[in-house]
């Protein structure tokens, strides 16, 4: 008891501490943090609309005018997270609070935020060239992902920094849009699909696996058959079929990846619950007459979540890869940029343009790598046999 302050921490704080002393996990976390930052602030980082301009002595912010409801949601989620982290609440309560805030702000955002329907990307550039503004402040990358720069008559496919008039850090694609801008906006899809699809899979897996593990017997037998049926379904072909039937939608993709990958989590949770069921502290909780909800959610679930979280961090990587694969095959989103779709463009064009393959490919690689690093470190931290070293 030499250092009571540091010793008096909860289990998860200890595990996270052990996870993130490893440099691999730190690197992974850093990369995911960068992506999250890019995703949340994409409209302010890469946009054809000026952040701030002064016209005839009046200030206005076109970026804010053109903000989409989705952009608002991302910002709200980010701010809520920042506010929640220092609060003394359990993980479950924090998640519930986040979900609640998101639901409310989603309703509000879609009801009230109404950006202009007609989007003319070049209007501010043209107006600036005509000298109608006192001064203009642009985003660091002054091109929207779908700004094909018609006003400049660009042919597209410019190598990075090859044009002396305009700076395209990562070059442009064949329609003339800025590659860096597209990549920044695409990081949202990568993050979103990873988290939402894995979230769906985890919720399903934990509920079904938990029921199988706690009640065992007939519930377990039926559940395991269900697991086997779902494991037999190849995700990619199901996705292809669904895309063919229902058209291309990000949400359908998330749901499908989610509902085909829960069996893995269910298996983990089932095994953990079967083990925990026999543990003395669960028996003690039962002997104390605690209600079933407390036994399941307070005593068993937090003790059984370790392996689930580990596989979830690998699951996020897998979901990102699945989306990239679909987009690469040309079955991704129609209009919005995604890394896989950008790779597809690189392959389709008649000449090989390295910047169109290297940057999105590298982004996919690093993101998947980052999640795998985190998952690896988390697994080592949770494994009691390894926790002594390092």
Partner 1 sequence: MLLSVKNLHTWFRHQGRTIKAVDDVSFEIDRGETFCLVGESGSGKSITALSIMRLLPGTNLDRHDGEIRFQAQGEASVGLTSLSEAEMRQVRGGQIAMIFQEPMSSLNPVFTIGEQILEAVQLHFPELSEEDAWARVMLALREVQLPDPETRVQSYPHQLSGGQRQRVMIAMAMACEPDLLIADEPTTALDVTVQREILRLMKALQQRTGMAILFITHDFGVVSEIADRVGVMQKGKLVEVGQTEQLIRRPQHSYSKALIAALPENLARHAPHTPVSDAEPLIRLRQFQIHFPVRKGLFRREVDRVRAVDGVDLEIPRGQILALVGESGSGKTTLGRGILRLTEPTGGQVDFDNTDITQLDRRQLRRFRRHMQIIFQDPISSLNPRLSIAGIITEPMKVHGIGENQEQRLEIARDLLAQVQMEEDALWRYPHEFSGGQRQRIGIARALSLNPSFIVCDEITSALDVSVQAEILRMLLDLRAERGLTLLFITHNIGVVEYVSDRTAVMYQGRIVEQGPTADIINRPQEQYTQQLIAAVPRVRF
The yes or no reply on residue 166 touching partner 1 (CB under 8 A) is no
The yes or no reply on residue 57 touching partner 1 (CB under 8 A) is no
Number of residues that bind partner 1 (CB under 8 A): 25
Q: What span, in angstroms and rounded, lies between the C-alpha atoms of 313 and 310?
A: 6
Which of 52, 32, 97, 45 lies closest to 71, judged by CA? 45
DSSP state of 254: H
Q: 256 or 378: whose CB is closer to partner 1?
A: 378
Q: How far is the CB of 81 from partner 1 (least distance, A)?
A: 23
Task: Work out which of 294, 297, 362, 387 binds partner 1, going by CB under 8 A.
Answer: 294
The yes or no reply on residue 387 touching partner 1 (CB under 8 A) is no
Phi/psi of residue 137, nearest 5 degrees: -115, 115
Q: What span, in angstroms and rounded, lies between the C-alpha atoms of 355 and 372?
A: 25
Which of 263, 264, 242, 261 lies closest to 331, judged by CA? 242
- Round the CA-based radius of gyration of the chain to a whole number and report it: 24
The yes or no reply on residue 7 touching partner 1 (CB under 8 A) is yes
The yes or no reply on residue 60 touching partner 1 (CB under 8 A) is no
Our CA dihedral for 380, 384, 389, 390, rounded to 10 degrees, sits at 30
314-333 positions binding partner 1, by CB under 8 A: none
Task: Work out which of 24, 160, 302, 330 binds partner 1, going by CB under 8 A.
Answer: 302
Name the strands in the sheet holding 58-60, side by side, starting at the edge strand that comes first in the sequence. Answer: 58-60, 52-55, 135-137
Q: 290 or 329: whose CB is closer to partner 1?
A: 290
The yes or no reply on residue 290 touching partner 1 (CB under 8 A) is yes
Task: Work out which of 95, 104, 284, 347 binds partner 1, going by CB under 8 A.
Answer: 284
Window contacting partner 1 (CB under 8 A); options: 59-67, 264-272, 274-282, 321-329:
274-282
Window contacting partner 1 (CB under 8 A); options: 116-124, 160-168, 290-298, 317-325:
290-298
The yes or no reply on residue 1 touching partner 1 (CB under 8 A) is yes
Window contacting partner 1 (CB under 8 A); options: 117-125, 130-138, 292-300, 371-379:
292-300
Task: For 7-59, give the DSSP string.
Answer: HS--HHHHHHHHHTTSHHHHHHHHHHHHHHHHHHTHHHHB-SS-SEEEETTEE
Q: How far is the CB of 303 from partner 1 (least distance, A)?
A: 6
Q: What span, in angstroms and rounded, lies between the C-alpha atoms of 254 and 256?
A: 6
Task: For 101-166, give the DSSP string.
Answer: HHHHHHHHHHHH----SS--TTHHHHHHHTT--SEEE--SB---TT---GGGT--S-PPTT--SSS
Task: Work out which of 299, 324, 343, 376 binds partner 1, going by CB under 8 A.
Answer: 299
Task: Work out which of 100, 140, 291, 390 binds partner 1, going by CB under 8 A.
Answer: 291
For the record, the structure tokens of 362 come out as 């590298």
Task: Work out which of 281, 297, 354, 365 binds partner 1, going by CB under 8 A.
Answer: 281
Window contacting partner 1 (CB under 8 A); options: 46-54, 127-135, 139-147, 299-307:
299-307
Phi/psi of residue 159, nearest 5 degrees: -70, 160
* Planar angle of CA 207, 213, 219, nearest 5 degrees: 80
The yes or no reply on residue 37 touching partner 1 (CB under 8 A) is no
Site string for partner 1, 175-204 (x = CB under 8 A): ------------------------------
Positions in the binding site for partner 1 (CB under 8 A) = 1, 7-12, 221, 279-281, 283-291, 294, 298-299, 302-303
């Amino acid at each position: 008891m030499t250092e009571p302050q540091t010793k008096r921490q909860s289990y998860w704080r200890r595990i996270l501490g052990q996870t993130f002393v490893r440099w691999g996990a730190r690197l992974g976390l850093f990369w995911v943090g960068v992506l999250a930052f890019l995703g949340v602030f994409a409209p302010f980082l890469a946009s054809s609309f000026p952040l701030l301009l002064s016209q005839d002595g009046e200030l206005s912010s076109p970026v804010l005018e053109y903000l989409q409801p989705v952009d608002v949601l991302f910002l709200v989620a980010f701010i809520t997270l920042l506010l929640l982290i220092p609060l003394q609440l359990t993980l479950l309560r924090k998640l519930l609070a986040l979900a609640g805030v998101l639901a409310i702000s989603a309703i509000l955002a879609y009801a009230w935020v109404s950006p202009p329907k007609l989007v003319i990307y070049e209007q501010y550039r043209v107006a600036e060239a005509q000298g109608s503004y006192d001064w203009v402040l642009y985003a660091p990358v002054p091109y929207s992902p779908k700004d094909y720069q018609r006003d400049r008559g660009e042919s597209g496919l410019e190598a990075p920094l090859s044009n002396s008039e305009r700076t395209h850090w990562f070059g442009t694609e064949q329609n003339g849009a800025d590659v860096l801008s597209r990549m920044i906006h695409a990081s949202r899809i990568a993050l979103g699909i990873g988290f939402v699809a894995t979230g769906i899979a985890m919720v399903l897996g934990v509920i079904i696996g938990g029921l199988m593990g706690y009640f065992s017997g007939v519930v377990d037998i039926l559940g395991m058959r269900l697991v086997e049926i779902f494991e037999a379904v190849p995700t990619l072909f199901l996705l292809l079929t669904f895309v063919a039937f229902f058209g291309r939608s990000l949400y359908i993709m998330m749901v499908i990846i989610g509902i085909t990958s829960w069996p893995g989590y269910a298996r983990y949770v089932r095994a953990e619950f079967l083990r925990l069921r026999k543990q003395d502290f669960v028996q003690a909780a039962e002997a104390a007459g605690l209600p079933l909800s407390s036994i399941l959610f307070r005593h068993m679930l937090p003790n059984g979540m370790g392996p689930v979280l580990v596989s979830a961090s690998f699951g996020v990587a897998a979901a990102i890869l699945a989306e990239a694969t679909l987009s690469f095959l040309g079955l991704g989103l129609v209009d919005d940029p995604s890394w896989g779709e950008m790779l597809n463009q690189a392959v389709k064009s008649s000449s090989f343009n390295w910047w169109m393959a290297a940057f999105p490919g590298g982004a996919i690689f690093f993101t998947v790598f980052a999640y795998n690093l985190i998952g690896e470190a988390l697994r080592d931290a949770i494994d009691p046999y390894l926790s002594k070293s390092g």
